[in-house]
Amino acid sequence: MKAIILAAGRGSRLKNAAGDLPKCLAAVGAMTLLERQIGALKAAGLRDIIVVTGYRADIVADVCGNLATCIENTRHSETNSLYSLWLAREHMRDGFVVMNGDVLFHPQLLIDLLSSPCEDALLISYSDPAAPLGDEEMKVLLRNNCVAEITKQMDGRLADGENVGVVKFGVSGARLLIEQMDTLIESGAERDWAPRAFREFALKRPLYAVSTRGLAWIEIDYPEDYRRAVNEILPIIEFTEMLEEESLAVAVAGE
């Protein structure tokens, strides 16, 4: 299974909170978002990583070095994540996991997704009924734990949860997704988000939901997201990882 990171965006909504760098290179602690994602993929056993670059592709490629293969979306300013994912279609045919390059997440979430018995699945953060999702979130509606709808336009009060931005597809699922993307691109959907293709896929084949189980994650779009990622989410992730390591050490010592 290969891994694809969609990292073509400039991140203009960050308003230079991370400097004049692509959003994927925003520093979160001692590493960039991209380095954290590559590290999580490597730790989960995925070695074949493709990064779709765009804005300042040269410096993203420098960060990737020999850790990943880069594909440049030369039309990043006039397209969106669906087109970026479509550019990597030749790397999908044996199954793959794809993630948005602006997501900071607990590495266990990736392991949960990859180890799920469901061949095609996405991570979902279930909604709190007392705090419905807003206009910005990519909302997900489920039926029988499968995606029935995925869109930003949904009424947040109807959504079951938010799409985290990490999705996996098996061999047959990947090939169906490629067909759906081909059709969408041919119809002029180059400016759509990648979840548009996931929605079309889910109309033909089950796309299951894997819960985040309350583990920490955040999508970074705005300056307040970046500040929260650095000051709140990363410390939670690091503290949780420390507790897990200590628990494992105690268990090993007791054997």
- The pLDDT tens digits for 113-124 are 999 999 999 999
Average pLDDT over residues 228-250: 83
pLDDT at residue 218 above 60? yes
Average pLDDT over residues 211-221: 96
Tokens of 190: 């180059």
Closest CA to 201 of 167, 233, 244, 249: 167
Judge whether 42 and 131 are in contact, CB under 8 Å: no
CATH number for 2-253 (one of 3.40.50.720, 3.20.20.70, 3.90.550.10, 3.60.20.10): it is: 3.90.550.10
What confidence score (pLDDT) does residue 7 get?
A: 97
C-alpha torsion angle, residues 101, 160, 240, 107 (rounded to 10):
-30
What confidence score (pLDDT) does residue 132 get?
A: 86
What confidence score (pLDDT) does residue 249 get?
A: 58
Q: In which element (H, E) is residue 159 found?
A: none
In angstroms, the Cα distances linking 245 to 46, 63, 212, 248 are 21, 28, 20, 5
pLDDT tens string 163-208 = 999 999 999 999 999 999 999 999 999 999 999 999 999 999 999 9
Please report the DSSP string for 23-61 in residue order.
GGG-EETTEEHHHHHHHHHHHTT---EEEEE-TTHHHHH
Sign of the torsion formed by the C-alpha atoms of 10, 11, 17 and 22: negative
Sequence ranges of the domains in the chain: 2-253
Q: In which element (H, E) is residue 84 found?
A: helix 81-87
The residue that leads in pLDDT, 199 or 130, is: 199
Model confidence band, residue 66 (pLDDT cutoffs 50, 70, 90)? very high
Q: Is the pTM of this model over 0.85?
A: yes
Identity of the amino acid at 206: P
Tokens of 252: 């090993």
What confidence score (pLDDT) does residue 11 get?
A: 83
Strand partners, 149: 141
Assign 3-class secondary structure to 190-245.
CCCCCHHHHHHHHCCCCCEEEECCCCCEEECCCHHHHHHHHHHHHHHHHHHHHHHH
pLDDT tens string 84-101 = 999 999 999 999 999 999
